[in-house]
C-alpha cells in the first residue's frame, strides 16, 4: 500500500501538486488569492502555489467564498478586455459615420 501511495505522490509531484495538497483542495480549508490576467478576467488560486504565467495577484486573499464574492462584485463585464475595446471602437466608428 505504501509503495502505491508513494507512486501516486511521485506522479502528482511531477505535475506540481502533492497528495497532501490535493487533500487540502478537497477539504477546501485553503487560503486563496484573487488573480487577474491581462484580459481583465478573474480567477482564484491557492496561495501555496505560484501564480501562473499571465496572471497577477489582485490584492485579495482569504477563504474561497470571500474571494468568489469579491470577484462577483468586481467582475461585472465578462467580456475580455480586448473584445470590449474592439466593440467600443466599432461603436465609435459607427457614431462618427452618422454625424
Low-confidence ranges of the chain (pLDDT < 50): 10
Question: What pLDDT, on a 0 to 100 scale, did the predictor assign at position 20?
Answer: 72
Residue 24's pLDDT is what?
A: 62
Predicted pLDDT at 44: 98
Termini Cα distance of the chain? 77
Q: What is the pLDDT of residue 2?
A: 56
How high is the pLDDT of residue 99? 80
Fold entry, domain 32-97: Rubredoxin-like (3.90.820)
Put simply, whether the predicted model's pTM sits higher than 0.85 gets the answer no
Helical H runs in 28-80? 64-74
Which pLDDT belongs to residue 72?
97
Q: Residue 54: what pLDDT?
A: 98
Give the CA distances from residue 41 to residues 7, 30, 47, 53, 73, in Å, rounded to whole numbers and listed in that order: 36, 22, 18, 14, 13
Amino acid at each position: 500500500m505504501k509503495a502505491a501511495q508513494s507512486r501516486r505522490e511521485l506522479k502528482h509531484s511531477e505535475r506540481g501538486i502533492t497528495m497532501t495538497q490535493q487533500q487540502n483542495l478537497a477539504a477546501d480549508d485553503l487560503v486563496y488569492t484573487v488573480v487577474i490576467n491581462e484580459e481583465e478576467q478573474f480567477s482564484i488560486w491557492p496561495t501555496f502555489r505560484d501564480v501562473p504565467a499571465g496572471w497577477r495577484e489582485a490584492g485579495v486573499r482569504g477563504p474561497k467564498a470571500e474571494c468568489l464574492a469579491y470577484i462577483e462584485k468586481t467582475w461585472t463585464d465578462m467580456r475580455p478586455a480586448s473584445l470590449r475595446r474592439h466593440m467600443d471602437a466599432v461603436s465609435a466608428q459607427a457614431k462618427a459615420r452618422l454625424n
